[in-house]
Chain A
Amino acid sequence: GENVEQHPSTLSVQEGDSAVIKCTYSDSASNYFPWYKQELGKRPQLIIDIRSNVGEKKDQRIAVTLNKTAKHFSLHITETQPEDSAVYFCAAERGGADGLTFGKGTHLIIQP
């Protein structure tokens, strides 16, 4: 089955700086790569996703890049703000009914 590795497990950045979280996946058939944000005590919520026919997608301060050859994708957050503090999960899906395989999560801490 699919295996998703996520790094780092904890990331601390100064407010206003950029943050990058990286994931690798094992199954070359995977074609959908979402990112979920989970604030403390809350449910995970989708913040951005990308499909395999696209190399990059941007939504305001958030962007995701995908390198299918290397089987890795990354989340980029620019101009970080206190409300960006959360746990972020990457995931990969090959289609079919197997569903998403999640990475172990990155705890992003925004230092004032």
Chain B
Amino acid sequence: EAQVTQNPRYLITVTGKKLTVTCSQNMNHEYMSWYRQDPGLGLRQIYYSMNVEVTDKGDVPEGYKVSRKEKRNFPLILESPSPNQTSLYFCASSRQVYGTGELFFGEGSRLTVL
């Protein structure tokens, strides 16, 4: 089954404790991206990647890091989480690189930072 898998789905952590949200897709997609969803603000792009070892900042990259060492994986790293990073996070992938076309989203990871 074609899918984008995120882990963990739910996480409560404390300020400053490094965490990683993993994302994996099995569709051989070139393009992968991370979004955060907050009430009243819609979906905002954090980082994206057009291919292995190629990543770039989205609209709200502050406080986040990513890596793309393999085509299928695109982890999101919060080096020192803060309460304003409490949010619902979605990983997404797309077959197309230039012009994303349809985005396939993971199920989401709800993060709470105390």
Interface residues on B, range: 20 to 34
> Does B67 interact with chain A (Cβ within 8 Å)?
no
Chain A contact residues: over half helix, strand or loop, or mixed? loop
For the complex formed, measure the closest distance between the CB of B62 and the CB atoms of chain A, giving whole angstroms: 16
| Contact between chains at A100 and B103 (CB < 8 Å) | yes
Partner of B102, one of A1, A42, A49: A49
For the complex formed, measure the closest distance between the CB of B83 and the CB atoms of chain A, giving whole angstroms: 22
For the complex formed, measure the closest distance between the CB of B105 and the CB atoms of chain A, giving whole angstroms: 4
| Contact between chains at A105 and B97 (CB < 8 Å) | no
| Contact between chains at B42 and A97 (CB < 8 Å) | no
Q: Which residues of A contact B31 (CB under 8 A)?
A: 97, 99
For the complex formed, measure the closest distance between the CB of A15 and the CB atoms of chain B, giving whole angstroms: 26
Q: Mark A43-65, 1 if CB is under 8 A from B, else 0.
A: 11110010000000000000000
Q: Which residues of A contact B44 (CB under 8 A)?
A: 102
> Does A96 interact with chain B (Cβ within 8 Å)?
yes
With A32-B99, A34-B102, A97-B98 already in contact, the answer to whether A105 and B33 are too (CB < 8 A) is: no
Q: Which residues of A contact B12 (CB under 8 A)?
A: none
| Contact between chains at B97 and A99 (CB < 8 Å) | no
With A97-B56, A97-B98, A100-B103 already in contact, the answer to whether A44 and B43 are too (CB < 8 A) is: yes
With A43-B90, A43-B106, A43-B107 already in contact, the answer to whether A100 and B100 are too (CB < 8 A) is: yes
| Contact between chains at A97 and B97 (CB < 8 Å) | yes
A-side residues, CB < 8 A to B, are 1, 6, 9, 31-32, 34, 36, 42-46, 49, 89, 93, 95-97, 99-105
